[in-house]
């Protein structure tokens, strides 16, 4: 069974559109994250979410918003997509500090 899953795996869309990427973990973890990996393979934390507490990396535009309908899901909504949003987005989860972070397979977003 997949521990952390993301849908879709690939997403191609036009500039200006609004899109969502879904993430689900079946591990019972308390904390979930979104990371962005750009075309140079650089990985950066975007958000962490734990028990309704959201911590946002200050460099993330407010067009990005995470939504957690329940503890097992943390979806990423992106409004008014821009070319620079093209990247691979990874969801991750962990039971807490000091434990392994389990990463999803990634969603490759291409904005045209």
Tell how strand 53-56 and strand 43-50 pair up: antiparallel
Residue from the set 1, 14, 62, 100 that interacts with another protein by CB under 8 A: 100
Chain residues 14-53 in contact with another protein, contact rule CB under 8 A = 31, 33, 35, 40-45, 47-48, 50
Q: Which of 5, 68, 103, 110 binds another protein (CB under 8 A)?
A: 103
- The residue written with tokens 């191609």 in the block is 12
Binder among 13, 57, 68, 86 for another protein (CB under 8 A): 57
Residues 6+ apart with CB under 8 A from 56: 46, 47
β-bridge partners, 92: 33, 103
Q: How far is the CB of 7 from another protein (least distance, A)?
A: 14
């Amino acid at each position: 069974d997949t521990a952390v899953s993301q849908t879709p795996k690939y997403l191609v869309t036009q500039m200006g559109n609004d899109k969502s990427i879904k993430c689900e973990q079946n591990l019972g973890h308390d904390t979930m994250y979104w990371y962005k990996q750009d075309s140079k393979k650089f990985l950066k934390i975007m958000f962490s979410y734990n028990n309704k507490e959201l911590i946002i990396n200050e460099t993330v535009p407010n067009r990005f918003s995470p939504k957690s309908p329940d503890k097992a899901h943390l979806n990423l909504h992106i409004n008014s997509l821009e070319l620079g949003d093209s990247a691979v987005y990874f969801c991750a989860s962990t039971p807490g500090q000091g434990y392994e972070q389990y990463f999803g397979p990634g969603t490759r977003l291409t904005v045209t």
